[in-house]
Amino acid sequence: ETGVTQTPRHLVMGMTNKKSLKCEQHLGHNAMYWYKQSAKKPLELMFVYNFKEQTENNSVPSRFSPECPNSSHLFLHLHTLQPEDSALYLCASSQVSGGADTQYFGPGTRLTVL
C-alpha cells in the first residue's frame, strides 16, 4: 500500500449504530487530519493530530470521537449520528517541518446515515 488509505470506502449506518472509520498513512508523516465534505459546502477540518497528540478540535460534536494510536493510524469513531452527518470523510497526512507541509489525502469514506 502506498500513500494514504481509508477503510471502508462506503458505509451506511443507522442512527443508533456504532462504527469506526480507519485511516492509515504510509508516508512517514507526523501529522494526520480528518475532514468532512458535505454537498455544496467547503471542506471542513474536524480534527488534527501532531505527533499523535490532538491539536485541533474544530467544534465537532461529541458523537464523533477521534483516536490516534500512533503516527501512522487515525480512527474516527461514530455513534448516534444524525442524517445530516452523511458526507464524504477524508483523511490526510503531512510532514510538519516548516516548509510547504503539503497535506496528502486518502480516497475518503462516503458515509450515509439513515
Partner 1 sequence: AQKITQTQPGMFVQEKEAVTLDCTYDTSDPSYGLFWYKQPSSGEMIFLIYQGSYDQQNATEGRYSLNFQKARKSANLVISASQLGDSAMYFCAMRGKTSYDKVIFGPGTSLSVIP
Footprint on this chain of partner 1 (rule: CB under 8 A): 41-43, 45, 48, 50, 55-56, 58, 88, 90, 92, 94, 96-108, 110
As measured in angstroms, the least distance from the Cβ of 16 to partner 1 is 27
As measured in angstroms, the least distance from the Cβ of 61 to partner 1 is 19
Instruction: Using DSSP, state whether 101 is helix, strand or coil.
Output: coil
Pairing of strands 87-94, 109-113: antiparallel
> Please, what's the b/e burial string for 57-71 (b: 16 or more CB within 10 A of its CB; e: otherwise)?
eeebeeebebebeeb
Q: Pick the closer one to partner 1 by CB: 69 or 98.
A: 98
